Structure 1
Amino acid sequence: MSTQSTKRASVELFAGAGGLGIGLAQAGFEPEMVVEFNKWCCDTLRDNHGVLTENEPVPAATWHVIEGDVRKVGFKDLEGKLDLISGGPPCQPFSLGGQHRAFDDARDMFPQAVRAVREARPRAFVFENVKGLTRASFMSYFEYVKLQLEHPELISKKNEDWQDHLARLEQHHTSTNRDGLHYKVVTKLLNSANFGVPQRRERVLFVGFRDDVNAKWSFKEEGSHTQAALVWDQTFGDYWDRNEISKHDRVLEGRAKLMAKRLSKDEKPESLPWRTTREAIMDLPDPEKAPKAAAKIDNHRFQPGARVYPGHTGSFLDEPSKTLKAGVHGVPGGENMLRRADGSVRYFSTREAARIQTFPDDYRLHGAWSECMRQLGNAVPVELARVIGESVAKQLDEAA
């Protein structure tokens, strides 16, 4: 994992537990401010990135954390000073597990992301959201979000319906005479597992560069890791021996089982294999079977009550985990379980979930288990954020 020496000024909105911000910081972006509403998330951010006493170790970077409503934060003082604005506007309106209210939902914070871009005029921005935003029923609103980010100064009028605003944006977008602030925007749907994250987590990405930035940005959705390479390793390679797995527990499931039948030993994929849940967490003591050893590790406690029911079957150890859930409704983390070869299940500890989201091991999350899982379930995997950040930074440097 590389850290860039050049620092680029940024602002992080809707920061959550900090996954996107950490990865972007590893890529060389240094936040001038970090805005988050949730108290527990802010406690997590301050603990890991805040100002410490002289007797404590200095954090990698001190973040100016603003705890509060982003609608009350101004960005005009930062005009012309930022390389990047980033963030994940609250995704509940678009989540596949939510109520799908989209533009009728007061929790939709995309307008605030657009306002921040309009006021600060950064050279680039990176915003992410859940796959649900790309649902067919939301496509008009997806296009509305994209056009607002492309033309942030064309704001909606008082009492103007979003569809009427969309029509004005479309007319402006196709006009040959477009004055003012504009961005070139690319959208991508990425699977985190394809980028070395031990989790099948799909996120939609909005990446924009200001018109005067001569960026030629492109990003491969497929990444450098594949399921085919993992299944080949499990079928013909040394995956099972390397991870000291007994022959009785060497099990492939679902698509992997079917894929194994079609693979040839002589045709090893050139890509890297997906990382599995086992590879991410199995060097940690089992918090259920070895609670004393687990207690010596931050955020690594056994959480009782895991059970299998329709739609909640846990993550097989020898695949990337299923998407960690934030628990918007129902039991938080109801699907955030590992499933052993014998069919038994238990909840991931907070530390295990943080590993799956590729957070550093010394990163401490605040709150009860359910609150920590909510923070992690809403987070961007750090490794995915780093790869995206390095790609954006490279274009900014080349365009300078």
Structure 2
Amino acid sequence: MMDGLGPEERLTAVEICAGAGGQSLGLHLAGFRHTLAVEIDRDAAATLERNLSRLAEKEGHEPPLVAVGDVADSSVWDPQSYTGVSLLAGGVPCPPFSIAGRQLGSSDERDLFAWAVEVAGKMNPDAVLLENVRGLSMPRFAGYRQAVLDRFAELGYRADWRLLEAKDFGVPQLRPRFILVALREEFAPYFAWPEPMPTVQTVGAALYDLMAANGWQGAEAWAKRANRVAPTVVGGSKKHGGPDLGPTRAKREWRSLGVDGLGIADAAPGPDSPADLVPKLTNQMVARIQGWAGPAYDWDFGDGRGRKTTTYRQIGNAFPPPMARAVGLAIASALRKEGHPAGDHGTRSQYSDEIYRAMREHGGYVSLAGLRRALAGTLTEEEIERRIEFLQQDFEIDVRQRGGLLTYRLGNWRAFRGQDDHARHEAFATDRLRSKIS
């Protein structure tokens, strides 16, 4: 077995679908240094490049390349040119799995999760970190998750998922994120998921100084009212209008905290504002809610350039930096083989799918009764049939009648993994897909 990295050895990272840099900053603070970041949105990429260049200049080394374009386009970057990095990380598009959307999974042309797994196979990093929305943790995507775990195992990794809450890592909002971490066999036993912080920060405590910055007399009373964490900040998409803090239900929650969620303010309330005003948040405040707080999390969004909506989307769609830092530190510790190799990462996942595994292991046509026997009767035939209906949304399932019984055979995964004939290519060629990516 090889020794882990020494404490002074640099951990390197390639980040895909990097956005404006929430995950980038968190990983930087965890000790990773980017060699490349890829992002399709030009405004977000400009923010990322500006800040990563500043950090590199401060540390006295060359800034990483920030490539702008479709991450799956071979003309934008070549994964095989970045083999052997310590970490492949990214926040691949969320709409295919979002509860607020149609949850099309593999049928959504924006889905890049399976593609990212194949990229890991080409790059051979020591670890992989991919984050997404809570929807991916639901029963609808059990087969999809299992296919990801199985493919990582074939590539020589131990992988597992965990649903983490931003509020547990010093961020004053709920923001559940579904995190996948995969590590090579030699590092996996040293990995442990980060533990929640003992205290939770409230919106009032986080934003009081910003609300009071222009002399508003109601700031102190407002902060006392805003005495809990915020609902999840919603970044929105290019298809919709200006920024606001989410759908109707979220706006009601913001209102109960004393915040007007119908838009973003240019500045904090001034001394002439009524003490009982229900203020809107500024982009600076939203960034604080997302975890950009304190000197270590200083980040320039260029908010003074008159592009409030663009800035809000960059902030609202981000992976909170403190959350990324916590997971990054856990991965860095594993790659340095710190502590005792007692962990069981990837050996028994609560997010596995026994139906998918049974059908895959069988290989041929199997009836509901046959699957029930394979599962030792832990599920009813009705439950198995429902789970197969979920699988049919992401996999080809051939159904045939044999001896008066319906039998099922698991076929190909519909997910985009880089296939030359996949519908995603046509969607991008016509710009139909680009306009849907937020």
Return the TM-score normalized by structure 2: 0.61
Shift of 1:23: 0.7
**Unaligned 5+ runs, structure 1:** 152-180, 226-271, 291-315
**Is 1:382–2:317 an aligned residue pair?**
no
**1:332-382 deviation per Cα after TM superposition (whole angstroms, max 9, x unaligned):** 433375632999644321111111111256312147222222222221111
Query: Counterparts of 1:161-200 in structure 2 under 5 Å?
Result: 181-200=155-174
Does residue 335 of structure 2 align to residue 396 of structure 1? yes
Do the aligned partners of 2:18 and 2:38 also contact (CA within 8 Å) in 1? yes
Other-structure match for 1:13:
16
Q: Which residue pairs with 1:243 in the alignment?
A: none
Q: Show the counterpart of 1:276.
A: 202
Indicate which of 78, 83, 86 corresponds to 2:86: 83
Aligned pair in 2 of structure 1 residues 5, 20: CA closer, same or farther (>3 Å)? farther
Does structure 2 retain, via aligned residues, the 8 Å contact 1:36–1:68? yes
Amino acid at match of 1:64: L
**Counterpart in 2 of 1:349?**
282
Residue in structure 2 matched with residue 119 of structure 1 by the alignment: 122
How far 1:131 moved relative to its partner? Answer: 0.3
Is 1:323 aligned to residue 232 of structure 2? yes
Contact 2:158–2:188, Cα closer than 8 Å, also in 1: no
Q: Give identity over the alignment, percent.
A: 29
Give the secondary-structure state (helix, strand or coil) at the position aligned to 1:46. Answer: helix
One-letter code aligned to 1:69: D
Structure 1 contact 215–396 (Cα < 8 Å) conserved? no
* Alpha carbons 1:35, 1:65 under 8 Å: kept: yes
Q: Secondary structure at the match of 1:146?
A: helix
TM-fit CA distance, 1:287 = 7.8
Q: Using the TM superposition, give the Cα deviation of residue 195 of structure 1 relative to its aligned residue in structure 2, in angstroms.
A: 1.7
Structure 1 residues 276, 61: closer, same or farther in 2, change over 3 A?
Answer: farther
Question: Which stretches in structure 2 are left out of the alignment for 5+ residues?
Answer: 1-6, 217-224, 260-274, 342-438
8 Å Cα contact 2:52-2:64 kept in structure 1: yes
**Cα contact 1:324–1:333 (8 A) shared by 2:** no
Task: Trace 1:1-400 onto structure 2 (pairs within 5 A).
Answer: 6-50=9-53, 62-72=63-73, 73-79=77-83, 81-151=84-154, 181-213=155-187, 215-219=189-193, 223-225=195-197, 272-285=198-211, 317-328=226-237, 330-331=240-241, 332-335=243-246, 339-340=257-258, 345-359=278-292, 362-366=298-302, 368-398=307-337
- Tell me which amino acid in the other structure corresponds to 2:23: L
For residues 200 and 8 of structure 2, what CA distance do their matches in structure 1 show?
Answer: 29
CA gap 1:143/1:343 in 2 versus in 1, 3 angstroms:
farther
Cα gap change, 1:101/1:58 in structure 2, threshold over 3 Å: closer, same or farther?
same
Separation of aligned partners in 2, 1:49 and 1:120: 22
Distance in 2 (alpha carbons) for counterparts of 1:59 and 1:372: 28
Aligned-partner Cα distance in 1 for 2:59–2:211: 28
Q: How has the CA–CA distance of structure 1 residues 363 and 119 changed in structure 2, closer, same or farther, with 3 Å as cutoff? A: same
Shift of 1:52: 10
Give the distance between the partners of 2:122 and 2:96, measured in 1 at CA: 25
- Which residue identity lines up with residue 292 of structure 2 in the other structure? F
Q: How many residue pairs get matched?
A: 293
